[in-house]
Amino acid sequence: MQDVIIIGCGVIGAACAYHLSRYRLRVTVLEAGNDVAAGTTKANSAIIHAGYDPEPGTLMARLNAEGSPMAEAICRRLDVPYRKNGSMVLAFGEEDRACLRTLLERGRKNGIPELRLLSGDEARAMEPALSETVTEALLAPTAAIVNPWEYALAMAETAVRNGAALHRSCRVTAIAREAEGFAVTTSGGVFRGRFIINAAGVHAGEVHELIGEKNFTIRPVKGEYYLLDKSEGGRVARTIFQCPSAAGKGVLAAPTVHGNLIVGPTADPSAPDDVSNTAGGMEAVRALALRSVPGIRFRENIRNFAGVRANSDRGDFILEESPSAPGFFNAVGICSPGLSAAPAIARYLAELMAAKGLELQEKEAFIDTRRRVRFRELDGGAQNELIARDARYGRVICRCETVTEGEILDCLRQPIPPVSINGVKRRVGAGMGRCQGGFCGPRVQEILARELGVRAEDIPLEEPGSYILTGETKEARP
């Protein structure tokens, strides 16, 4: 019998596991996919929002304001790429200027520090690539950028190091009430727990309705993006927003912690798992982004992708015990600023469960550090020391990102090792460069097959079935 079962291991499930693992609790995480952070968490804008956008008094506002500094501290402790680069919201006319003043007032009510308005000229002095049509801007110096999937992975790994159990490829199919809690039937067996946290993202409504009566609706919204080469990574230093609308925060242009430029997203109603890109969506992103930053060179695009946000019909985070299933806690409708608010959401849910009888006794020893080798960031001396200790650090597998075999082997020894080529990509960056795995993909596949003791044909690109090889070709006979 587990104390808490967490369904879903995106950034919210990972943050919940990380927070609860500091207590003397039995915690199990059930993830339907074959990896953590493989849904919305890997396909978003990678922004830690300052907190001026949410309506004051909402959970979004409170937990964004609390969560952003918590996220910074966690990234520092767990060695996750994070950079406080600040953000700007642009105005192009009187209607937009009124919007900026609304956002400024909201931000002040939400307790966000250092917000200020800039004239168009002041904004361009800070960001020379901005359009001449920009008349004013709201500057938020505390906004940041992060590696979102490594952020979630680092929290999940730390939870596992501290005793939490993670089960991947474990899709929940039924939930039943029992005398001491719940029986959760999955594709990987039956798990029993006193409390459940539903962090299943776009599928959270379906999971809740396995045990409780419907009292919310998830309305998935797809966002399409461009990822541009590092040659465009210095186009802007800050995250550049346009004024938000009912559909979301609008199209942005932002540097990434990896040195690229990300541009997007759209905001279109979608099926829960539709991550396709469309010609119309990409053209819309391009046209809107050029309004803010007219010099963006979209021919430097190296990848398009899409993510689906789990908007709900309530317009706020839904963080509550199910009215029809006591002990079952929903963490749903976690759209933007969910990435920013994640650690505060986890703490809030723990407090809700504690009020219902979950004992939160802190462990005497809690592992709260993590370090990983990033070969290309080391100086020559440190690189030579690594190679002397293990020659595999001297074998570069990914030329675009200078990722070595030693780093790939490191990630395979971690508490949550990858089982796919993209799983390696998310952990160490092999395949994230200009050629998008064209050179290193087969070599990563070879290493995975060798280290996991399986055939190369059994290594998928992502989920099972996304195979690259299906067998050997036979020499044609005359």
Catalytic residue among 49, 203, 208, 258: 49
For residue 74, give the amino acid letter. Answer: I
| 65 within 8 A of 143, measured Cβ to Cβ | no
Whole-angstrom Cα distance, residue 33 to residue 170?
7
CA-closest candidate to residue 135, choices 261, 52, 246, 243: 243
Q: Confirm whether 49 is a catalytic residue.
A: yes
CB atoms within 10 A of CB 222: 23
Q: Which of 402, 128, 163 is nearest to 259 (CA)?
A: 402
CA distances 208 to 95, 212, 248, 320, 397, Å, are 41, 6, 25, 12, 44
Count of C-beta atoms within a 10 Å radius of residue 360: 14
CA distance 284 to 264: 9
Question: Which residues are known catalytic residues?
Answer: 49
